[in-house]
C-alpha cells in the first residue's frame, strides 16, 4: 500500500481543492491519518473507493471523539514603559525607561467533534487507512457529510455517533438514535455529559440513583431529566 503521504498526494491530484491534511501519530504504532475538509469529503471518499490502485472498498469501523474547549496558557514577553527613581547630578529624579517582562496570557481553543473512519481494501488486501473529519464546533455547527452513500457500512455506525456524540451527518438516509430511546436528551459520550438523577424508561439501581438525587438536592442542582 502507498504511504499516507503518497495517498494524500494522489487525492490532491485527483480532487482539486480537496483540502486534505496529514495528521501524524507520534505513538509507536505510527498510524498516521488524513483529515478531510467536510466540503470535499464525499468526493475524496469516492476517489479512495474507486481508484484502481487504492480500491478502499471496505469500511471496517468508525467512531466519534469529543474534544472540549481547552484553555491554553502562553508566556509572552511584553515591553512597557515604567517610571523609576534614579540618582542624578542634583539628587534623585524620575526617569521613564523601557522594561521587558514575561506575562502569562490565557486563551480558549474552541472544541469540536470528530468522526474517524478505518478503511481497507479487500480487493488489494491492504489497509487500514485512517481518515477523519471534524465539526466547526460542539454546539450549533456540529454537522458533517455522511459517507454512507460511499460505504454502506457507515449507516449504523454514523447513527451511533449521532446518538452518543451529537454529530449530525447530512445526507444520511436514516439518521435517528440507535442505542438511546427517542425521548432521551443529550449525548452520553460527550465529556461534559451529566448523568440525570433518574431515567424515564430505563431501570437503574435505586440506592445509587436516590443518593445522587439527594446530593444534587443539597447542592441546589435539581433532579434533571
Q: Which band of pLDDT confidence, cut at 50, 70 and 90, is reported for residue 205?
A: low
Position 220 scores a pLDDT of: 67
φ/ψ (deg, to 5) at 162: -60, -45
Position 185 scores a pLDDT of: 85
pLDDT at 217 over 50: yes
Question: In the predicted model, what is the mean pLDDT of residues 20-38?
Answer: 94
Instruction: State the chain's mean pLDDT as an integer.
Output: 89
pLDDT in tens, 139-152: 999 999 999 999 99
Domain borders along the chain are: 4-66+112-175, 70-108
Three-state DSSP class for residue 26: coil
| Residue 151: how many other CB atoms lie within 10 Å | 20
Check whether domain 4-66+112-175 has CATH 3.40.640.10, yes or no: no
pLDDT at 207 over 80: no
Amino acid at each position: 500500500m502507498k504511504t499516507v503521504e503518497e495517498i494524500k498526494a494522489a487525492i490532491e491530484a485527483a480532487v482539486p481543492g480537496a483540502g486534505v491534511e496529514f495528521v501524524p501519530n507520534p505513538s509507536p504504532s505510527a498510524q498516521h491519518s488524513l483529515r478531510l475538509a467536510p466540503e470535499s469529503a464525499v468526493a475524496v471518499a469516492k476517489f479512495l473507493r474507486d481508484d484502481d490502485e487504492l480500491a478502499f472498498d471496505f469500511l471496517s469501523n468508525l467512531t466519534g471523539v469529543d474534544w472540549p474547549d481547552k484553555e491554553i496558557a502562553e508566556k509572552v514577553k511584553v515591553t512597557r514603559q515604567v517610571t523609576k527613581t534614579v540618582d542624578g547630578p542634583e539628587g534623585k529624579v524620575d526617569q521613564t525607561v523601557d522594561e521587558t517582562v514575561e506575562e502569562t496570557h490565557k486563551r480558549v481553543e474552541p472544541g469540536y467533534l470528530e468522526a474517524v473512519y478505518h478503511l481497507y481494501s479487500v480487493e488489494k488486501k491492504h489497509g487500514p487507512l485512517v481518515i477523519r473529519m471534524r465539526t466547526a464546533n460542539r454546539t450549533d455547527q456540529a454537522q458533517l457529510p455522511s459517507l454512507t452513500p460511499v460505504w454502506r457500512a457507515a449507516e449504523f455506525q454514523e447513527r451511533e455517533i449521532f446518538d452518543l456524540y451529537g454529530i449530525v451527518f447530512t445526507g444520511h438516509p436514516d439518521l435517528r438514535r440507535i442505542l438511546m430511546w427517542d425521548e432521551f436528551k443529550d449525548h452520553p459520550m460527550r465529556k461534559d455529559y451529566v448523568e440525570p438523577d433518574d431515567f424515564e424508561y430505563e431501570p437503574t439501581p435505586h440506592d445509587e440513583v436516590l443518593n445522587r438525587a439527594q446530593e444534587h438536592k443539597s447542592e441546589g442542582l435539581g433532579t434533571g431529566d
